[in-house]
Amino acid sequence: MEMVQPLLEKGYTLYLDNWYTSPILYLNLMKNDTNVIGTVRKKRKNMPKKLAAMAFKKGEVHTLFSRSLLALRWRDKKDVDMLSTKHSNASMKETGKKRRRKDGSEESVSKPACVIDYNRGMGGVDKQDQQLACFPVMRKFMKEYKIFFLHVRHCFV
């Protein structure tokens, strides 16, 4: 709440990943006239257990709505759990992309509106994190660099 203090009560929409998302935080931000959309971990404290227990087929969406907070689970390649104070339902929207079926025909791809808004709002931050996870070289380099720096510093002291 301290980090977003300058943004409160101005009607902004925040986009959060699952590290920061919780129903209580969303309700507090909503009280301060700030909408929030984000992914959430299914076992996060105060998340509806009913939603976590449901099984899905690809393309299915299930939602729960309470106190202006939408909890959504959508099955794409894997389960996607979302929370939103900006959306009131799981309306599906066309993405403009086509998916080829096994029989060779094409079908249009549709996603829930909150997933589309989240992907647009995050601006590639999740994609960057995903790509960096595949290259642990930078972390290894930084660790070795710090060790090298400490040795050089001791030589000049």
* pLDDT at residue 145 is higher than 80: no
Please check whether residue 38 is in contact with residue 82, taking contact to mean a CB–CB distance below 8 angstroms.
yes
Give the confidence band of 107 by pLDDT, cuts at 50, 70, 90. Answer: confident
Q: Exposure string (b/e) for 137-149, b if CB count within 10 Å is 16 or more?
A: eeeeeeeeeeeee
pLDDT at 115 over 70: yes
Higher pLDDT among residues 81 and 146, named by residue:
81
For the four alpha carbons of 125, 127, 130 and 132, in that order, the dihedral sign comes to negative
Is a pLDDT exceeding 60 seen at residue 156? no
Residue of 108, 101, 52, 100 whose CA lies nearest to 80: 52
Note the pTM of the prediction, 2 decimals.
Answer: 0.69
Q: What DSSP line would sit under 33-79, residue for residue? A: T-EEEEE--TT-TTS-HHHHH----TT-EEEEEETTEEEEEEESSSE
- Rounded to whole angstroms, how far apart are CA atoms 54 and 49? 9
Say yes or no to pLDDT of 26 above 80. Answer: yes
- Label residue 89 by pLDDT band (50, 70, 90): confident
